[in-house]
Amino acid sequence: MYSEDDLLPISGLQHVLFCERQFALIHLEQAWAENLFTAEGKILHERVDAEGHESRRLFRQEYAMSMRSLEHGLIGKTDLVEFYLKPEGGVAEAVPVEFKRGRDKEEDWDRVQLCAQALCLEEMLGITVARGDFYYFGAHRRTHLEFSAELRAATLTAIQRARAILAGERTPIARYAKAKCDRCSLIDLCMPRWTAGGGKRVSQFIAAELEAGREGCSR
Instruction: Report the run of H or E that residue 54 belongs to, with start and end.
Output: strand 53-56
Tell the smallest beta-carbon distance from residue 187 to ligand SF4 (Å). 4
Q: Does the protein bind ligand SF4 through residue 201 (CB under 6 A)?
A: no
Q: Which of 175, 200 has the CB closer to ligand SF4?
A: 175
Classify residue 114 by burial, with Cβ atoms within 10 Å: 0-12, 13-18, 19+. Answer: buried
Collapsing DSSP to helix, strand or coil, 122 comes out as: helix
Tell the smallest beta-carbon distance from residue 174 to ligand SF4 (Å). 4
Collapsing DSSP to helix, strand or coil, 140 comes out as: coil
Instruction: Report the run of H or E that residue 24 belongs to, with start and end.
Output: helix 20-27
Q: Which of 85, 191 has the CB closer to ligand SF4?
A: 191
Classify residue 109 by burial, with Cβ atoms within 10 Å: 0-12, 13-18, 19+. Answer: middle
Q: Does the protein bind ligand SF4 through residue 180 (CB under 6 A)?
A: yes
Question: Out of 10, 81, 181, 202, which residue is the one contacting ligand SF4 (CB under 6 A)?
Answer: 181
Residue 100: count other Cβ atoms within 10 Å of its Cβ.
Answer: 22
Sign of the four-CA dihedral 64, 83, 132, 118: positive
Specify whether the CB–CB gap between 121 and 96 falls below 8 A. yes
Phi-psi region of 14 (alpha: psi -120 to 50; beta: other; left: phi over 0): alpha
Tell the smallest beta-carbon distance from residue 25 to ligand SF4 (Å). 6
Among positions 158-177, residues that touch ligand SF4 (CB under 6 A) are 174-175
Question: Out of 94, 119, 186, 202, which residue is the one contacting ligand SF4 (CB under 6 A)?
Answer: 186
| Helices first, then strands: H and E counts in the chain | 9, 7
Tell the smallest beta-carbon distance from residue 185 to ligand SF4 (Å). 8
The count of chain residues that interact with ligand SF4, using the rule CB under 6 A, is: 13
Among positions 14-73, residues that touch ligand SF4 (CB under 6 A) are 19, 21-22, 25
Tell the smallest beta-carbon distance from residue 190 to ligand SF4 (Å). 3
Tell the smallest beta-carbon distance from residue 180 to ligand SF4 (Å). 4
Q: Does the protein bind ligand SF4 through residue 192 (CB under 6 A)?
A: yes
Interface with ligand SF4 by CB under 6 A: which residues?
19, 21-22, 25, 174-175, 180-181, 184, 186-187, 190, 192
